Amino acid sequence: MSQSRAYDPRSATNPLFNDNKLKLGLFGTNVSNGCAITTAPEALLTSWPNTLSIAEVADRYGYEALVPVARWKGFGGESDFNGTCFETYTWAAGLAQATKNICVLTTSHVPTVNPIMAAKQACTVDHISGGRFALNIVCGWFQPELEMFGAKIMEHDERYDYAAEWIEIIRKLWTAEEEFDFEGKFLRVTKAISKPRPIQAPFPALMNAGGSGKGQHFAAKYADMAFVLLTSHDLEQSKAQVDAYRRMAREEYGREIQVWSYGYVTQRDTQKEAEDFLNYYVLEKGDDAAVEQITRIMGIQAGIMPPAALEQFKFHFKAGWGGYPLVGTADHIAGEMEKLSKIGLDGVLLSWLDFHDGLGRWNRDVMPLLEQAGLRKPMQGLAPRRS
């Protein structure tokens, strides 16, 4: 469990390593519609004032992470889900300057960025933020967006072999005192060097959310934050899933990793109101054409779940990228968060149809319950990491 993890010097600057038992992040505030595949007008519109004001609220209330989505092209349908999107290194740089406490991540598709460029950009954001940065490494699966770059998408497992070379080079650039050469199967650098060192030592936090066996091994070997998609919603099975992941990282790579998941939130004063609102944006207004395209390509390109299971999961995809449902009153949602902590999760990324409205409700009603339950410390007890 995270509580027994050894002290990480990065905790001095990066809230991902604080001692809150259940950490919280926001998912997808840089892309249109966020995580909700729907035509409901309350869904997120991509504009800088919008993404900035959401980040400022999350920062003030002590959330640990802002995780953007790396997207280059929308998924079509009436909503063109995620079609309007900010590039994530520049987005992270802007938000790093505008915030004081929260960890700002970039999400980087490895085949789209040269590792020297990625190391340098990431290091720059680490400095802007004062050491509150993390790099989410994604290999990509949405073929049409990656093929815009002019090359065929690699075969699934080969993508992770490529990513391993990419991150090996980056870690070396962040730590090497002398110029070095690297000659891999895919990547080569010559007399490479990058200064300054990142603020976080030995290097910034890394995230990977691979769901396939190959992806999970990659995350266990390289990432500080790994993810599980809670497909069964049965807590015993989910606990086994989380335990197995942690055990694999420990036994095969000698590493302690944080295991996170993600969930979509619809909070109202009664259970019925919450469910009615969920049904409104998912069943009445859900963008079936967009979700069709996602599950079809994901079924072929990602190892997250078999095509038949994806089909059954379409409701949750429309509600919030297939996340765990956090739907109901504040009490009910806080109870669900306690369960997620009990299965061994270190953190949960959250999304709402309407982030502004949702954050307001959560901060007012759910956050105090999480504090009472001992899952989180009150924000006023935390000193700002940067004045």
Ligand X SMILES: Cc1cc2nc3c(=O)[nH]c(=O)nc-3n(C[C@H](O)[C@H](O)[C@H](O)COP(=O)(O)O)c2cc1C
Please give the residues from 147 up to 166 whose contact with ligand X meets the rule CB under 6 A. Answer: none
- Closer CB to ligand X, residue 259 or residue 274? 259
Name the one range near ligand X by CB under 6 A: 14-22, 50-58, 98-106, 296-304: 296-304
Q: Which of 349, 367, 370, 375 binds ligand X (CB under 6 A)?
A: 349
**Site membership for ligand X, residue 142 (CB under 6 A):** yes
SS3 157: helix
Q: Residue 232 CB, nearest distance to ligand X (Å)? A: 16
Nearest to 75 by CA among 66, 67, 85: 85
- Closer CB to ligand X, residue 40 or residue 105? 105
- Closer CB to ligand X, residue 17 or residue 262? 262
Q: Which of 43, 69, 92, 223 binds ligand X (CB under 6 A)?
A: 69
Q: Which of 77, 115, 131, 210 binds ligand X (CB under 6 A)?
A: 210
Q: Residue 353 CB, nearest distance to ligand X (Å)? A: 18
Please give the residues from 212 up to 231 whose contact with ligand X meets the rule CB under 6 A. Answer: 212, 215, 227, 229
- Closer CB to ligand X, residue 69 or residue 134? 69
Q: What is the DSSP string of 86-140?
A: --HHHHHHHHHHH-SSSEEEEEEEGGGS-HHHHHHHHHHHHHHHTS-EEEEEE--
Task: Give the span between the Cα atoms of 334 and 332, in whole angstroms.
Answer: 6
The residue with its CB nearest to ligand X is: 215
Please give the residues from 302 up to 321 whose contact with ligand X meets the rule CB under 6 A. Answer: 302-304
DSSP annotation of 38 reads B
- Closer CB to ligand X, residue 96 or residue 223? 223
Nearest to 96 by CA among 116, 123, 136: 123
Residue type, 244: A
**Site membership for ligand X, residue 34 (CB under 6 A):** no
Strand segments, DSSP code E, in the chain are 23-27, 65-67, 103-109, 133-138, 180-183, 188-192, 205-208, 225-227, 258-267, 324-328, 347-352
**Site membership for ligand X, residue 140 (CB under 6 A):** yes
**Site membership for ligand X, residue 139 (CB under 6 A):** yes
- Closer CB to ligand X, residue 158 or residue 256? 158
Q: Residue 384 CB, nearest distance to ligand X (Å)? A: 27
Please give the residues from 111 up to 130 whose contact with ligand X meets the rule CB under 6 A. Answer: none
Q: Per-residue string for binding with ligand X, 85-114, x by CB under 6 A?
A: ----------------------x-------
- Closer CB to ligand X, residue 93 or residue 146? 146
- Give first-to-last CA distance, the chain, whole Å: 32
Strands 188-192 and 180-183, by their bridges, are antiparallel
Name the one range near ligand X by CB under 6 A: 169-177, 180-188, 299-307, 374-382: 299-307
Q: Which of 24, 26, 44, 70 binds ligand X (CB under 6 A)?
A: 70
Binding residues for ligand X, how many (CB under 6 A)?
20
Q: What is the DSSP string of 161-205?
A: HHHHHHHHHHHHHHH-SS-EEEE-SS-EEEEE---S--SSSS--E
**Residues listed for the chain:** 387
Cα Rg, the chain, nearest whole Å: 20
Task: Give the span between the Cα atoms of 66 and 360, in whole angstroms.
Answer: 17
Count the neighbouring beta carbons within 10 Å of the beta carbon of residue 182: 15
Q: Residue 280 CB, nearest distance to ligand X (Å)? A: 25
Is residue 323 within 8 Å of residue 351, measured between CB atoms?
yes
**Site membership for ligand X, residue 238 (CB under 6 A):** no
Q: Residue 180 CB, nearest distance to ligand X (Å)? A: 28
Q: How many helices (H) and strands (E) does the chain have?
A: 14, 11
The binding site for ligand X (CB under 6 A) comprises 69-70, 107, 138-142, 209-212, 215, 227, 229, 262, 302-304, 349
